[in-house]
Every structure is written in C-alpha cells, then in structure tokens.
Amino acid sequence: MVSAPQPPRRPAVRVTLGQVAATDDHAANREAARDALDVAGGVHADLLVLPEYASAFHRAGVGREHAQPLGGPFVTALRERAAATGTAVLAGTTLPGTDADPRAVNAVVAVDGAGALVGTYRKVHLYDAFGTRESDRLQPGPADAPPLVLDVAGLRFGVLTCYDLRFPESARRLVDAGAEVLVVPAAWADGPLKAMHWRTLAIARAIENTCAVVAVGMAGKGVVGRSLVVGPDGVVGLELGPDPALRTVDLDPEELREVRVGNPSLANRRYAVVPV
C-alpha cells in the first residue's frame, strides 16, 4: 500500500513544476492545467508553476487569436481548481489588446490558494531575436510597472517571463522588491545553443542574486522544455528533459539565508536598477 505524500515540513515550501505541452486547442489546455493542479494538490504543493503560453501556444507564433480576458475560461478554470486544491498557481496566458493597440499581451497570472487573482505580470522584453519578432503580434508590458512578487507559505516569489531571463536587471529589480525565488515561465525556442543558454542563464541569475530559480519551460515541438530548479548557490537540484512532466521540489528558506550570509553580494553592490 502506497501512503499519500505528506505535507512539506516547514519552513520548506513545496513547488510543482508543470512542464506541459500546450497547443492551440484552448479546451485541452484548460484541462491540462486543471490536471496539473490536481497533481500538485495531491502532493500538498503550495505552488504550481505552468509555462508561458499555457493557455494557448503555436510554434509559429501566438497573437490575438489566442487571447482571452482575465475573466475568460482559462483564468477562471485556474481560479476554480486552485480554490478546490488549495494550491496557488503561476501560469502564462495571452490577454486581448486594446482599440489603440490590437496586439495581444503576453502575461503571467498569479492565483492564490483560495482562488483569488492576486497579480498579473505583462512581459516587458519581447522576443525579437534569433529571426523571430514577437512584437509583431504582441505589445510589451510597461517597464515601470510594479514588480510581481507573490508571497506563498512565507517565501516570496518574483515573476519574469522567458526572454526576460536574458536581462539581469529584470531579475535584480525583483530581488530589490523582496523576491527570494525567481520564477521563469517560458516557451524557450529550440535551436543551436538555445538549451545551453537557457540552463546557463538560469544558473547565472541564481548566483548573482543569491536566490533560487524555478524555470519552467514548455514541452513540445520547437521549444526546449528542460525545466530546472537552481539553488541560491548555483547548484541545479532538479532538471527535466524535453518531454512533458510534472515534478515537485521542496524549497528551504534557511538555505537561502545561509547562502546570503556567506556571499553578501547583494549588500556589497554599488549600482541600482531603474526602468528606462
């Protein structure tokens, strides 16, 4: 007989990585998100992280045809299942634009364990690189918007998205706002050296900010998957392959504090980060 997983031993915070393979089938993506929340709830996870574009994804690009409002079916499904399981969730979605700018908005929504929508981060750095132009379909989020930092079980999680990982000032701004863990939902495009960049940048953001990094990639064609969890000392504690998978880790806030005592680089810094 297999016993049910026990809740995390505090002060540990339990996080489930939902490396799903979303498509342009909106109903199937909602069901995948519900299933992932059920799995996370079943192992007593405090937080589920789903990738960028979890609501709808197409490898040729995501735009306004994939957009849903915050009150639409995807976010509503997240809120209902989060409330049922008691597990908070961070998930990538696409929001409608406006009459002035009809391009859609790449966003990560934060839902707490009671099912309340507690925050939205609109991606600042659009992926206009390596032969791709995300800005043709999407409008950037405001660079001066308040950072999205979510408190879950006493640990503070700061949110950035995919291409933002290449900009260290984005991560540092979240840390300045109190983030102890950087969460990176992504649909990281595959290609030469891309998987290596993904892994290296996640480790670099952890080391330079003495914080944990939870980087959750989309699985499927054209993207790398390969979600990983990096400790504040730069050690990779969990790393997935390219295929869909759900894995759960316990994050220890005491480890973060110990690393910051031994490596006080944040206290020793001499430059501030401000939006331009």
Q: Which residues are known to be catalytic? A: 52, 123, 162
The residues, any chain, with a CB within 8 Å of residue 256's CB and separated by 6 or more, are 180, 210, 211, 212, 232
Q: Tally the C-alpha atoms within 13 A of residue 190's C-alpha that lie toward its C-beta.
A: 13
φ, ψ dihedrals at 250, nearest 5°: -105, 125
Cα 178 to its chain centre, rounded Å, is 17
Contacts by residues 76-80 (CB-CB < 8 Å, ≥ 24 positions apart): 77/30, 77/33, 77/34, 78/33, 78/37, 78/109, 78/111, 79/111, 79/115, 79/116, 79/117, 80/115
117-122: strand order across its sheet: 117-122, 105-111, 88-95, 47-49, 13-19, 245-251
Q: If you write DSSP's letter for every residue of 28-79 in order, what string do you get?
A: HHHHHHHHHHHHHHHTT-SEEE--TT-S---TT---GGG---TTSHHHHHHH
